[in-house]
Structure 1
Amino acid sequence: MAEQIHIGFGIDKNFGRFAGITITSLVHNNIANELIIHIVYDELLPEDIDRLKKTEQLYRNLTLHFYQITSTEGMTFIVPPGHITQAMYYRYLFAQMLPKSVKRLIYLDADIICKGDILPLWQTDLEGKVLGAVRDWGEDRSCGRIGLKNGRYFNSGVLLMDLVKWRQQKLTQKLFQWLEQVGNTKILWGDQDALNGVIDGEFAELPNIYNGIVINNTTLNEELDVVLVHYIDYI
């Protein structure tokens, strides 16, 4: 029996086309299950919305939902220099913008390609934690920089979220409060730093195959049969 898998993207007009590529790779490799995609955005190019809707029409196992951000009141965005935009923080907003009936979500950055079955990821036991993630490369430096006590630091490009617990813990508010209090003093990786700063090691550790990092065309874990390949370019 096909299972419904909820997947979220937080994007702006710079990433609409890339999200379309990620979504296409997901449906091609997960044809046995129903993929329900939730796209939180501030602005998208009309041609990108058109392409996304045409993609939805092509695949029987794909449903798209769009949620436009109309106000950023109460939100603090600290954007490091480079090609990254404030859209990185939109992953914080699923719990409040999606229907309460959506209780679990796989969040994906729009620079990811899916190469395999994500059902095992979707079914992962979070062991009571609010989210699951893959530990980041070079986490020791990041832990020291933002003062983590636990010694574990994750990459926020792939997150398995328990939206019920997220809502109960009022995590969105805590994240923006952390950003406001810390300001620019410790932030290097934006949304990722704040997530780690607030959660401080209290996450379920996902296998590396669900966030296989490729930095500037260099694969960090070549031996792995990676399901989700995450392409990161440093400018």
Structure 2
Amino acid sequence: MTKAVDHFLDEVYKTADRARHSRGGFFESSAYYSLFAKLGETVLSRAEVSTSTVLVALVYLSRVGSRLVIYPEEEDSSLERLLLGALVVADKYTNDADTALGNRHWAGAGPILTAGQIGEFERYFLRLLDWNLDVSEGDLLKHHQRVIKAASLPSPRKLSARRTSICTPRNRRSSVASTISNIPSLVPSSPAPSIGPHSPELPRTPDAQPLRRERKGRFRRFFYLPTKSRRMVEKSE
């Protein structure tokens, strides 16, 4: 696991830890974190998560901290909810509708998860964000520097001679892509232990037709909305 991946998973853990309603318990055991880290590494590797998606996910994690409260009975799945919720929402924000991964594909990337659970994690995270999905250049640059520091790699200017990528290129928002084009890879150099060296690439066909949302007239984002919210969006259009 690379240091940059460690940094991302640590941020998920710290966000959950700060929101806990009580101290102690299995949440603080090294075995629990080890299982979570293995799941996180597997998801990042199998889903071929892009650097831009991880950056946006880090922005979102820092944003939900003030609204997040985790009670003892919720601790057993809190890390998974935050990890997958942040990645799914960030992936849909960062990528075009035809290239963002569907919930079935995310479930396939995490062998212990179902598509229904992924959808639940997504809705949970959107509520924490209060649907505030906008990401500024300043937001990205702040986490950009932290990732560079965590990875102990040269500054982006020294990396400009070579383009680094961690997945097959997907259609990204130009403002996001231009900001992160020189950030080092966040995916482990070798697959997670539970994934074989010849594992097939996950398909990219969507699992359902999503709702197309307009944000400030500049670009379209694709998320599943509850019925009430869908009526409000359709009325506004």
Instruction: Tell whether the structures are fold-level matches, with TM greater than 0.5.
Output: no
Higher relative contact order (CA closer than 8 Å, sequence separation 6+): 2
TM range (shorter): under 0.3
Q: What TM-score does the superposition give when structure 2 sets the normalisation length?
A: 0.25
Q: What TM-score does the superposition give when structure 1 sets the normalisation length?
A: 0.25
The answer to which structure has the higher strand fraction is 1
